[in-house]
Structure 1
Amino acid sequence: MKFLTAFALVFVVSFAAPAFADIDWDEKELTEEELIKRGFAGGVELGFNMTTGNTETTTYRSKIDVDHFLIGWRNNYVFETDYKEDDDEVKEERYFASAQGNRQWAFAINSYTFYRYSYENDRFNGMEDANTISVGYGQRVLETDSMFLDLEGGPGYRTNDAKDKNDEMIARVAGNYSWDISETSKFTQRLSSEIGEDNVVTRSETAITASIIGSLAMKASFTVTHQTAPTVDEEDDEELSKTDTRTAVTLLYSF
């Protein structure tokens, strides 16, 4: 119920305050009016694997990443799930949702202010009903015909219901790099760090996307999550690993 409430809050806050928006400089060839008419753009990602016999394993990953264009603002909504079960024992169960908005100012076309909310529930890495709110400033520091690099940073606040975890102020820094290798392939690198006094949470996603046909593509990604002070597992009272990694090959449908 807490997850559903938090996920609903992502959309309520985003629509209630047009500050939640995401600038997509890849659309710079479109006018503001054309972007508004376009409305929504994004992708749906899905991966699934099942083995039976001596070992029964079920693994799936899903992700929805949608941009919503408004006058002067561009909203971005993300929803992710990761699940793994080995011989009826759950090994991974993660839910993540976020809304981020970037406000581009007329007097500084490569600069923007951002507003971000995220929710994560993953009892296997100590992020239980973790809510994070942050605001700040970002800038495009590199841009060519085939690549760009955005950097941003600002203060925020994080809550976590996991054992021995306190609510705390944080500083969020992030970078987003994209390189169009060819007309049918793209390399992306996203890196963020939420720096708190009790815990520093750093996330990295490295991905290569290759077009298959039309709007359908294959995506290979490698994700790393690192915590300087992960929580203690409530079931066995053992300290969790500081670093989690995830390798995935998924189908991506863009619209």
Structure 2
Amino acid sequence: MSLSLFSLCSFPTHADLWSPLDDEYSDEELSRRGFAGSVEVGLNNSTGNTETTSYRSRIEVDHFMIGWRNNYAFESDFKKDDESTSQERYKFTLKTQREWNDLEYTFGLADYENDRFNGLRDLITVSAGYGWRAWQADIAYLDLEAGPGYRRNDVEKDQREFISRLAAKLEWQISDTATFAEVFSSEIGQENTITRSDTSLSASLIGQMLLKLSFSFVHQTNPINDDGLFDETLETLDTRTSLTLLYRF
């Protein structure tokens, strides 16, 4: 016997981060709107020979001011099979962005992540840099970012290093009912390089109901074990695939 529930509730948002649809809003309109955000929740529960409970959640809020944008996000992933937890991850993100013109901006970014199963325990990352809209069309855009940063992993072991961060975001309105998005980042350090990718495809079903398929991965060149030591026997790649129903209003 199994029960599954996937849902997403979205408040009117600034086109889901740097969308070409942003152009329809003036600075005065964005300042008046103030806040926008979205909430995403996916749940799954199965009983019988195997009892499995899993969920994925994400909360995101944007704060708009003339020439500025602040983004706050929280996401979590959890999975438990019978009495054993096989996935547990929490991540908080704060980003502030100063837009200098239609194509260029500078940013400051702070992340906190705790993942029990891939060595990213109490991972704190801060970075700043330059962003550039490298390409924009009526139905698509590409943003690129680069800058220096600093990373501290596992407070008890106190592993620290300076990093260089590269990032990109592509969004493409394939048709009136389908959107493709890719978010990529790589934090390059001397001891460990952490690369992340999130690829998604969403399509309208009926009215405001959409179906979203996403695939994410985290790759580390030198993952650490529970003792805080780099371990060559550990897998360097962790992946996650999600299928959710989305409702927008």
Q: TM-score, normalised by structure 1?
A: 0.84
Q: Is the 8 A contact 1:42 1:254 kept in 2?
A: no
Between the aligned partners of 1:98 and 1:116, the Cα distance in structure 2 is 7
1:57–1:131 CA distance, 2 compared to 1 (3 A): same
Work out whether residues 19 and 171 of structure 2, in 8 Å CA contact, stay in contact via their aligned partners in 1: no
**Alignment match of 2:221 (pick from 204, 228, 234):** 228
- Residue 38 in 1 paired to residue 33 in 2? yes
In structure 2, do the counterparts of structure 1 residues 59 and 117 end up closer, same or farther at CA, with 3 Å as the change threshold?
same
2:124 corresponds to which of 127, 131, 138? 131
* Unpaired runs of at least 5, structure 1: 1-21
Give yes or no for the alignment of 1:27 onto 2:27: no
Aligned to 1:14: none
Q: What are the superposed Cα offsets for residues 208-237 of structure 1, whole Å, 9 maximum, x if unpaired? A: 1123455543221000100000001349x9
Superposition CA RMSD, Å? 2.1
Q: Distance in 2 between matches of 1:48 and 1:162?
A: 31
Residue 125 of structure 1 and its aligned partner are, at CA, apart by: 0.7
2-side partners of 1:163 and 1:222: how far apart?
A: 32
CA contact 2:19–2:141 (8 Å) conserved in 1: no
Is the 8 Å Cα contact of residues 138 and 150 (structure 1) preserved in structure 2? yes
Q: Which amino acid aligns with 1:37?
A: R
Q: How many residue pairs align between the two structures?
A: 231
Q: Structure 1 CA distance, aligned partners of 2:176 and 2:61? A: 22
Between stretches 241-250 and 207-216, larger displacement belongs to: 207-216
For 1:221 and 1:118, how far apart are their aligned partners in 2? Answer: 22
Q: Which runs of 5+ in 2 are unaligned?
A: 1-16
**SS state at 1:55 partner:** coil
- Establish whether residue 48 from structure 1 lines up as the match of residue 36 from structure 2: no
Report the Cα distance in structure 2 between the residues aligned to 1:57 and 1:39, rounded to whole angstroms. Answer: 41
Structure number with the higher helix fraction is: 1
Per the alignment, residue 89 of structure 1 pairs with 84
Shift of 1:99: 1.2
Segment drifting more, 201-210 vs 179-188: 179-188
Alignment-derived partner of residue 5 in structure 2: none
**1:243 counterpart residue number:** 237
User: Which of residues 203, 226, 233 in structure 2 aligns to 1:210?
Assistant: 203
Contact 2:179-2:201 within 8 A present in 1 as well: yes
Q: Kindly provide the CA deviation profile for residues 69-104 of structure 1, in whole angstroms up to 9, marking residues without a partner as x.
A: 112101111110000000110000000010112211
Matches within 5 A, 1:9-158: 24-106=19-101, 109-158=102-151
Residue 44 of structure 1 aligns with an amino acid whose one-letter code is V
Query: Residue 103 of structure 2: SS of its match in structure 1?
Result: strand
| Cα distance in 1 between the residues matched to 2:91 and 2:138 | 32
The letter of the residue matching 1:96 is: K
For 2:32, give the aligned amino acid.
K
Matched, 1:167 2:169: no
* Length-normalised TM-score, structure 2: 0.86
- SS of equivalent to 2:31: helix
Contact 2:20–2:140, Cα closer than 8 Å, also in 1: no
Deviations 1:15-42 (A, max 9, x none): xxxxxxx755431111011111222223
Q: Report the residue type matching 2:216 in the other structure.
A: T
Q: Distance in 1 between matches of 2:71 and 2:52?
A: 33
Which segment is superposed worse, 179-188 or 157-166? 157-166
Letter in 2 for 1:250: T
Contact kept, 8 Å, 2:121 with 2:153, in 1: the verdict is yes
In structure 2, C-alpha distance between the alignment counterparts of 1:40 and 1:97, rounded to whole Å:
18
Shift of residue 66, structure 1, vs aligned partner: 2.3
Question: Which amino acid is the alignment partner of residue 157 of structure 1?
Answer: Y
The percentage of aligned residue pairs carrying the same residue is 51
Pair 252,40 (structure 1): closer, same or farther in 2 beyond 3 Å: farther
Deviation at 1:163, TM superposition (A): 7.0
